[in-house]
């Protein structure tokens, strides 16, 4: 993720927003005009790419292995017999795999009238806080509109790219938004991309900031970014009244989930951990002002990423403790948070080094990776395939990913990896993993402003894979980096994704993401029946302690190969290292923080079981406090959580569709508000009773003080 992830672009806008207050005195014409030059909008020409013509993974990638410490590890039949029995369950043997894609539908795009609201004063400190925590309000929205409007004005007035980037760096430095070198780096790395995009779009500040910030900036209608995926004319299978529970004692897969490593090769023990930049604990961070400001040996709770020794120690611990891992989910974000001075070459080196390390630590174990938002340079920059100029194309990253991921993935996925860093692999007979590039839903990916319509045709390809899986009676696990319900996911993309999950709820049995760095989950419901939970997304904890967190990873137990398999997650464990104790005693100890079913008293981990837990978390404060501890990975640096914090967290769990909190969260918020009122009254009366009892117990006080005399 992270907390700092959207900052780089927003800093530019914040700096320009303050400048716009000065410019207001000059009555800049762009602030008040309704005029908008007409534009002939055409869809970017896409390379000829037919989804149905691409090769598919149809041979199971994993061969079952016997683990001596398991009593249920032997499949009942051979792969061929198991597959034949699965095929016999198919209701429609004759259905062919097809792609339903309506290429004849035009874009029909028209521009709404442009009305720029008058600038308002705003609090820069609040803007900075909201940017840091990815929680945007009207304050950040106002700053965004002011900055975007001014930048567009300067572009139209003919200022050169060099002049614009110099101006951005100067404002950033003079307003002390960041240190001079960070301001300069941000301007150089991101300025060119932002200017390139804004020169080619005809959106006003209202539309731009609604796109970037989301519901914190209003739901502005924007016909450029309204689109729908096309579903095949195949009826949705009837849903079951209740999903069956996985059989106890049946074969299972043990799965490791690692996310958000953010390995920092420049981490230095004893360096300043309390610097004024987005990433500290480096020689360049300066000397610590006092011993408490020094970076710890194994990491730090402040804005510092993961030192190499911590990554090494964690992987060695996993290899020793979990010798029976069947496969690994690796959901991205490998480079550190020094996004103001990263280069493509440095990020590629980190990718190569970490892939090599994973291969050596887990020989023979299949690894299924997903792409994070930090792998690109600059961060969040993922141009769709139609942006094919050599200097700005993303091919430099996707081509290398294809080479590195080929260690674990079959040859058949090369086409989609090189096109958009997504793929589909048959793991076992009747069981498939689909890895999505969630950066095509990232609203900090400014390239999507040019055209956000299903970038790289990823969602249409996703539908094709799911329909093929449905025809083949396969169950599917989906992996990615940014959770689709997170505020960093573009609303229109998330809305389409939500429909896909609902349509294929009988095929998709679990989803796995990272990005937030917290230990949490996200719910999906039938859009037409919000009482019916139809999918669960597991959001794994980060390895990086950035920030205020303990390092962690997850272990899942997935229903394995047998006649009645559901391919559901049977249970999961979260493992952490107490960073404070590791730095204090000089050596880390990794331990199991909790097991989901035992901690939350769940009889299974089906979507409806998670929905019940969500209701219990709303009503049961003691249970919520346990969830809150696990959410922060038992960090001693975690803040207290009031009613507003509780509403935000549980609403995050409820909302698998981004920027639509009002639709999902009214019941949760009203229950918490009601509970907070009762809790306050209970606390007040309990306090009075306890105080009276205490005074009454002091027998030597004069009776008249107690009202008896």
Detail the residues annotated as belonging to a binding site for Zn(2+).
Answer: 260, 262, 333, 373, 481, 515, 517
- Give which of 425, 369, 426 is closest to 398, Cα–Cα: 369
Distance CA 168, CA 191 (A): 8
Contacts of 202 (CB under 8 A, 6+ apart): 36, 37, 39, 41, 111
Distance CA 610, CA 289 (A): 47
Contacts of 694 (CB under 8 A, 6+ apart): none
Q: What angle do CA 702, 705, 709 make, to 5 degrees?
A: 75
Distance CA 362, CA 316 (A): 10
Q: Which residues, listed in sequence order, are joined to residue 254 by a DSSP beta bridge? A: 557
Q: Which residues, listed in sequence order, are joined to residue 511 by a DSSP beta bridge? A: 478, 537
Distance CA 150, CA 170 (A): 15
At residue 426, φ and ψ (nearest 5 deg) are -80, 115
Looking at residue 391, what DSSP letter applies? T
Residue 270 neighbours by CB distance under 10 Å: 15
Over its C-alpha atoms, the chain yields an Rg (Å, rounded) of 27
Q: Which residues, listed in sequence order, are joined to residue 369 by a DSSP beta bridge? A: 330
Report whether 672 contacts 653 (CB < 8 A): no
- Please give the annotated binding residues, written as ranges: 260, 262, 333, 373, 481, 515, 517
- Give which of 123, 119, 103 is closest to 26, Cα–Cα: 119
Contacts of 585 (CB under 8 A, 6+ apart): none
Distance CA 351, CA 357 (A): 10
At residue 319, φ and ψ (nearest 5 deg) are -60, -35
Distance CA 446, CA 505 (A): 32
Q: What angle do CA 538, 313, 345 make, to 5 degrees?
A: 80
């Amino acid at each position: 993720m992270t907390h700092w992830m959207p900052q780089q672009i927003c800093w530019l806008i914040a700096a320009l927003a303050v400048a716009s207050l000065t410019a207001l005195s000059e009555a800049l014409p762009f602030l008040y005009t309704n005029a908008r030059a007409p534009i002939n909008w055409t869809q970017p020409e896409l390379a000829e790419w037919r989804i149905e013509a691409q090769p598919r993974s149809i041979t199971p990638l994993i061969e079952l292995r016997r683990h001596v410490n398991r009593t249920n590890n032997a499949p009942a039949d051979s792969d061929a017999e198991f597959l034949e029995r699965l095929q016999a369950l198919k209701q429609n043997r004759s259905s062919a795999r097809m792609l339903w894609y309506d290429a004849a539908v035009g874009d029909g795009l028209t521009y709404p009238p442009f009305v720029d609201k008058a600038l308002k004063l705003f609090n820069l400190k609040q803007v900075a806080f909201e940017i840091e925590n990815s929680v945007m309000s009207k304050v950040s929205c106002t700053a965004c509109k002011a900055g975007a409007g001014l930048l567009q004005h300067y572009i139209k007035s003919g200022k050169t790219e060099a002049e614009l980037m110099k101006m951005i760096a100067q404002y950033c430095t003079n307003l002390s938004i960041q240190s001079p070198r960070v301001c300069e780096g941000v301007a150089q790395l991101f300025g060119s991309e932002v200017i390139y995009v804004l020169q080619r779009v005809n959106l006003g500040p209202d539309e731009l900031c609604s796109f970037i910030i989301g519901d914190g900036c209003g739901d502005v209608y924007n016909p450029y970014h309204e689109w729908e995926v096309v579903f095949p004319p195949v009826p949705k299978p009837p849903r079951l009244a209740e999903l069956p529970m996985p059989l106890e004692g049946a074969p299972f897969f043990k799965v490791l989930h690692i996310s958000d490593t953010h390995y920092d090769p420049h981490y230095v023990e004893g360096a300043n951990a309390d610097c004024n930049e987005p990433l500290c604990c480096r020689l360049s961070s300066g000397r610590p002002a006092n011993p408490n400001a020094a970076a710890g040996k194994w990491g730090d709770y402040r804005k510092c990423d993961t030192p190499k020794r911590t990554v090494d120690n964690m992987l060695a611990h996993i290899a020793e403790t979990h010798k029976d891992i069947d496969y690994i989910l690796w959901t991205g974000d490998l480079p550190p948070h020094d996004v103001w001075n990263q280069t493509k070459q440095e990020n590629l080196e980190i990718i190569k080094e970490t892939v090599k390390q994973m291969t050596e630590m887990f020989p023979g174990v299949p690894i299924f990776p997903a792409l994070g938002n930090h792998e690109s340079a600059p961060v969040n920059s993922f141009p769709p395939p139609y942006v094919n100029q050599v200097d700005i194309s993303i091919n430099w990253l996707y081509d290398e990913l294809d080479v590195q991921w080929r260690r674990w993935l079959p040859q058949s996925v090369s086409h989609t990896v090189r096109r958009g860093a997504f793929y589909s692999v048959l793991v076992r007979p009747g069981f498939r993993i689909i890895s999505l590039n969630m950066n095509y839903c990232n609203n900090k990916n400014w390239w999507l402003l040019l055209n956000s319509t299903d970038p790289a045709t990823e969602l249409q390809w996703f539908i094709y894979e799911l329909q093929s899986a449905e025809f083949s009676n396969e169950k599917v696990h989906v992996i990615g980096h940014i959770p689709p319900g997170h505020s960093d996911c573009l609303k229109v993309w998330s809305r389409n994704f939500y429909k896909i999950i609902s349509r294929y709820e009988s095929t998709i049995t679990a989803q796995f993401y990272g990005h937030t760095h917290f230990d949490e989950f996200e719910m999906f419901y039938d859009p037409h029946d919000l009482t019916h939970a139809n999918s669960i997304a597991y959001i794994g904890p980060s390895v990086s302690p950035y920030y205020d967190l303990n390092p962690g990873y997850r272990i899942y137990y997935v229903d394995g190969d047998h006649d009645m398999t559901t391919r559901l997650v049977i249970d999961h464990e979260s493992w952490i290292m107490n960073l404070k104790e590791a730095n204090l005693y000089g050596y880390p100890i990794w331990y199991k923080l909790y097991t989901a079913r035992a901690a939350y008293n769940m009889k299974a981990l089906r979507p409806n079981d998670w929905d019940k837990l969500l209701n219990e978390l709303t009503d049961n404060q003691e249970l919520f406090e346990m969830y809150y501890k696990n959410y922060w990975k038992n960090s001693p640096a975690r803040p207290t959580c009031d009613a507003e914090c509780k509403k935000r967290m549980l609403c995050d769990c409820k909302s698998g569709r981004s920027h639509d909190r009002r639709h999902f969260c009214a019941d949760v918020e009203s229950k918490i508000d009601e509970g907070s009122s009762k809790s306050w009254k209970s606390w007040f009366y309990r306090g009075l009773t306890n105080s009276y009892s205490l005074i009454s117990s002091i027998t030597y006080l004069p009776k008249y003080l107690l009202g008896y005399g």
